[in-house]
A and B are shown apart, each in its own frame.
Chain A
Amino acid sequence: MSAPKVGNPLSGKLDAELTPLLTVSAVSKAFGGLQALSDISLQVHAGEIFGLIGPNGAGKTTLFNALTGLYSIDRGEIRLNDARLDGRPPHQVLHAGLARTFQNIRLFAEMTALENVLVGRHARTTSGVIGAVLRLPGTRREEADSCERAHALLRRVGIAQHADRLAKNLPYGDQRRLEIARALATEPSLLALDEPAAGMNKGERAALRELLLQLQADGLTLLLIEHDVKLVMGLCTRLAVLDYGVKIAEGTPDVVSCDPKVIAAYLGDEAL
């Protein structure tokens, strides 16, 4: 991981100095006759918070699903650092270092908050059936380490008091936090968040914003789908705007928000 600076680690850097973490090159995906993604290319640099915005149905979540291996892509290439991600199943994408959360929270409802985070450790641990049955020293060490990390992550996202409650019984905002904790447990280099602020109230949004900034300060790169324009504009280093599966703009929040194509996509052509 690089760029572990506090504040905005990217301000003042020239484009050439930035290390691309995620490279999406000309990715296309069609569902039957519907072209959900057409030739999407973008680069997410290490240490930044990259926003993905666009009207409903623009293809944001489709792109997320393509990135994380839930959908196969028709054309194009996805790279994380030097590893090809396209064509690989979701668990391998995660192993490569790309973790995600879901728009409609997908926790393991009947497991406790702690267990949810422990499942996140699965990818970074190795003990198998024999180790579990015989409680071999290696397994015990691994379990203890996982538990410790899981508790630390729950504290970090601020829901340590809920460790032993079932995920489904947590308040809505805390469920979103738990999903982030679970994703963090997989030790990602890039964390993709699909509308993390959806359904949150003002206070919860402010807290989420704090959390995301902290994660960035710790060196994590974030890819963010969000509808809350205020949140996106204040948080993201750069943005890409999708409309009908096409990338119509990319750049810093100031530039993007003045782009006539973006305004047209959001407000309709008549607004111009």
Chain B
Amino acid sequence: MSSVPSLNKTQPRWLVFALLALGLALLPFLVDAGLGRSWVRLLDLALLYVMLALGLNIVVGYAGLLDLGYVAFYALGAYVYAWLASPHFGLHLPFWAILPLGAALAGLFGVLLGTPTLRLRGDYLAIVTLGFGEIVRIFMNNLNAPVNITNGPQGINLIDPVRLGSFSLSQPHTLFGFTFTGIHLTYYLFLLLTLAVIFISMRLENSRIGRAWVAIREDEIAAAATGINTRNLKLLAFAMGATFGGLAGGLFASFQGFISPESFNLMESIMILCMIVLGGMGHIPGVIFGALLLTLLPEALRYTGDLQRNLLGQIYVDPADLRMLLFGVALVVVMLYRPAGLIPSARRRQEFADAKG
């Protein structure tokens, strides 16, 4: 029998929440002790991708607008941060001012880039947004002459880390006998913002706005005939998604300390899209899982190099090649056996089950 669990079922599960919070708080230390410092860094990066994937999920998963140029907003957020907090222009504004500014500007660009695509759907929308993504990257690549705005392919260096007063996330701090290194502290900042993005996504999903997005995805003409201003709501989806992208971009710039157009190529957009598709489109836990999986798994595969050397005496398959190979196989397998994603939402799971049965 087909029935979706009714909405807004909030049970007090404080114990689960408390354990989860404790686990998330201790995670960087456990990872540090177990796997090494580089994995904590990776954890930070994974959180960034969770934010990006959740942002794109609003556009693709909820509103059903296939956006292949999402990385443009990520780039924009990163460049805004770099411009306003690096020696490039000699500006060093505080992060709490730049981060929202970058996110808002990315949101504005979401509307600007969204406007000409309103009449397009499906493949055509994908092609045009792909073009926009490339245009932004190429702009960043070439805006070093006659006026040097982006420093071209060399990128912008020495970007300020997140700093509040004299408290900088780039230096270790000791608190209650624990030493928190920069990447540990970054983890907590990213975790906080990721949780905020998750919270906003969840609240939007079960709201008047979220329902209108899904209605547009399901049947745009029926949505319009049911009183939804499809133009405004599509633009709102673009803006919301772009805002999250811009936020992640700003964090990325402060985290890396260096950005160049190379970091924002088409492959990046496609990876973020894959996270959503693989995890479960339109379903927040699925999207989070997809983002974590696709950030962490490729790194884990690096170990196969050592494994091959130890077991077989030499490296037969380059781990980098293996990554792409496994990634391709994984995508095909998931599309064949779990077309709704690894953790699909109840409704999509049901849909695909119905299609089979």
Q: Render B122-161 as a binary contact track against A, CB cut-off 8 A, 1 for contact.
A: 0000000000000000000000000000000000000000
Q: Give A186 to B203 CA distance when docked, in angstroms.
A: 24
B354: interface (CB < 8 Å): yes
Contact B208 A127 (CB under 8 A): yes
B354 to chain A: closest residue by CB: A169
Chain A residues with CB under 8 Å of B226's CB are 94, 99, 119-120, 122-123, 182-183, 186
- Which of A26-34, A104-112, A217-225, A252-260 participates in binding chain B? A104-112
Contact B3 A109 (CB under 8 A): no
Q: Of B6, B207, B223, which one neighbours A127 at CB under 8 angstroms? A: B207
Q: Give A129 to B227 CA distance when docked, in angstroms.
A: 18
Chain B residues with CB under 8 Å of A68's CB are 225
Chain B residues with CB under 8 Å of A243's CB are none
Q: Give A72 to B172 CA distance when docked, in angstroms.
A: 65
Chain B residues with CB under 8 Å of A124's CB are 227
A132-B209 CB under 8 A given contacts A108-B215, A165-B3: yes
Contact A122 B208 (CB under 8 A): yes
B210 to chain A: closest residue by CB: A132
Nearest-neighbour CB distance to chain B for A230, whole angstroms, equals: 28
Chain A residues with CB under 8 Å of B2's CB are 165-166, 169
A133-B3 CB under 8 A given contacts A91-B229, A111-B214: no
Chain A residues with CB under 8 Å of B5's CB are 164
Contact B209 A168 (CB under 8 A): no
Residues B178-213 near A (CB distance < 8 A): 199-200, 203-204, 207-212
A125-B208 CB under 8 A given contacts A108-B218, A135-B203: yes
State the B residues within 8 Å of A (CB).
2-7, 199-200, 203-204, 207-212, 214-215, 218-219, 221-230, 236, 240, 347-348, 350-351, 354
Chain A residues with CB under 8 Å of B200's CB are 133
Nearest-neighbour CB distance to chain A for B16, whole angstroms, equals: 21
12 A/B residue pairs, CB under 8 Å, sorted by A: A107-B218, A107-B222, A111-B215, A114-B6, A119-B223, A119-B228, A122-B212, A122-B228, A133-B204, A146-B208, A169-B354, A183-B226
A118: interface (CB < 8 Å): yes
Q: Give A12 to B350 CA distance when docked, in angstroms.
A: 53
Chain A residues with CB under 8 Å of B211's CB are 111, 115, 118-119, 122
Chain B residues with CB under 8 Å of A134's CB are 203
Chain B residues with CB under 8 Å of A112's CB are 4, 347
Extra inter-chain contacts (8) besides given A95-B227, A111-B211, A119-B212, CB under 8 Å: A69-B224, A89-B229, A110-B351, A119-B223, A134-B203, A164-B5, A166-B2, A186-B226
A100: interface (CB < 8 Å): yes
Contact A128 B209 (CB under 8 A): yes
Nearest-neighbour CB distance to chain A for B321, whole angstroms, equals: 39
Contact A102 B214 (CB under 8 A): no
Q: Give A263 to B236 CA distance when docked, in angstroms.
A: 52
Q: Give A141 to B42 CA distance when docked, in angstroms.
A: 43
A196: interface (CB < 8 Å): no
Nearest-neighbour CB distance to chain B for A118, whole angstroms, equals: 6
Contact B225 A70 (CB under 8 A): yes
Contact A89 B224 (CB under 8 A): yes
Contact A132 B207 (CB under 8 A): yes
Q: Give A90 to B216 CA distance when docked, in angstroms.
A: 13
Nearest-neighbour CB distance to chain B for A128, whole angstroms, equals: 7
Chain A residues with CB under 8 Å of B207's CB are 127, 131-132, 139, 143
Chain A residues with CB under 8 Å of B199's CB are 133
Number of A-B residue pairs having CB atoms within 8 Å of each other in the complex: 130
Chain A residues with CB under 8 Å of B348's CB are 110
> Which of B199, B211, B221, B348: most chain A Cβ within 10 A?
B211
Contact A168 B351 (CB under 8 A): yes
Chain B residues with CB under 8 Å of A133's CB are 199-200, 203-204
Contact B347 A110 (CB under 8 A): yes
Chain B residues with CB under 8 Å of A164's CB are 3-6
Chain A residues with CB under 8 Å of B212's CB are 119, 122
Nearest-neighbour CB distance to chain B for A14, whole angstroms, equals: 35
Q: Give A146 to B7 CA distance when docked, in angstroms.
A: 14
Q: Render A113-156 as a binary contact track against B, CB cut-off 8 A, 1 for contact.
A: 01100111111110111011111000100110010000000000
Contact B204 A108 (CB under 8 A): no
Nearest-neighbour CB distance to chain B for A195, whole angstroms, equals: 15
Chain B residues with CB under 8 Å of A139's CB are 207-208
Chain A residues with CB under 8 Å of B221's CB are 70, 90, 106
Nearest-neighbour CB distance to chain A for B168, whole angstroms, equals: 31
Chain B residues with CB under 8 Å of A111's CB are 211, 214-215, 218, 347
B212 to chain A: closest residue by CB: A122
Chain A residues with CB under 8 Å of B354's CB are 168-169
> Which of A69, A142, A164, A186: most chain B Cβ within 10 A?
A164
Contact B228 A129 (CB under 8 A): no
Contact A108 B227 (CB under 8 A): no
Q: Give A107 to B225 CA distance when docked, in angstroms.
A: 11
Residues A76-111 near B (CB distance < 8 A): 89-91, 94-95, 99-100, 102, 106-111
Q: Give A182 to B223 CA distance when docked, in angstroms.
A: 11
Nearest-neighbour CB distance to chain A for B10, whole angstroms, equals: 11
Chain A residues with CB under 8 Å of B209's CB are 127-129, 132
Q: Give A169 to B354 CA distance when docked, in angstroms.
A: 8
Q: Give A168 to B230 CA distance when docked, in angstroms.
A: 22
